[in-house]
Homo-oligomer: A and B are copies of this chain.
Amino acid sequence: MATLGLIEYEDASPEVRAVYDDIMATRKTDWINNFWKAIANDPATLTRTWQSVKEIMGPGVLDALTKEMIYVAVSASNQCGYCIASHTAAARKAGMSDEMFAELMAVVGMANETNRLASGYQVEIDEQFKLPGASARQGQEREHDLLR
């Protein structure tokens, strides 16, 4: 049972409906999943979260499928049942095949394993990984800072 209940479209204020409409239009769907209906109890959080998700998950240098798979990777690492279910569905819709899902899970599992081997063995970070520019870029010249 969602803590504050779920706000259905027909019960929503104009402010909330506007966000729901934008979610459906952006995602080309005709329904709103429970996550949004739950946080709609706080219109400020609904609006801010949707704007951030829309901006972050929209077109960029990473494609939509990659972004959704990263979302699944984080959610699986964090044991968030809702997020695993919803973002696995979203990743499938964005084109994730069964094989891609399986490889994704293999990487997520391995990363979680070696994360603990590294911490458990108290491994120091190599100097090569720390040098400014050089370490991060593996010795390549940094011709220009693309992000500035």
Contact = CB atoms under 8 A, between A and B. Distances in A.
A118 interface: yes
Interface in A45-100: 45, 48-49, 52-53, 55-57, 60-62, 66-67, 69-89, 92-93, 97-100
A90 to B, nearest CB: 9
A147 B42 contact: yes
A4 interface: yes
Nearest to A71: B111
A102 B41 contact: yes
B61 A93 contact: no
A147 B111 contact: no
Interface of A is mostly: helix
Contacts of A113: 49, 52, 109-110, 112-113
Contacts of A130: 1, 85
A60 B135 CA distance: 26
A37 to B, nearest CB: 8
Nearest to A29: B148
23 contacts: A1-B131, A3-B121, A5-B136, A7-B148, A39-B121, A45-B102, A49-B113, A49-B117, A52-B52, A52-B110, A56-B103, A62-B103, A70-B70, A70-B111, A76-B119, A80-B115, A84-B120, A87-B111, A92-B140, A97-B146, A105-B121, A109-B117, A112-B115
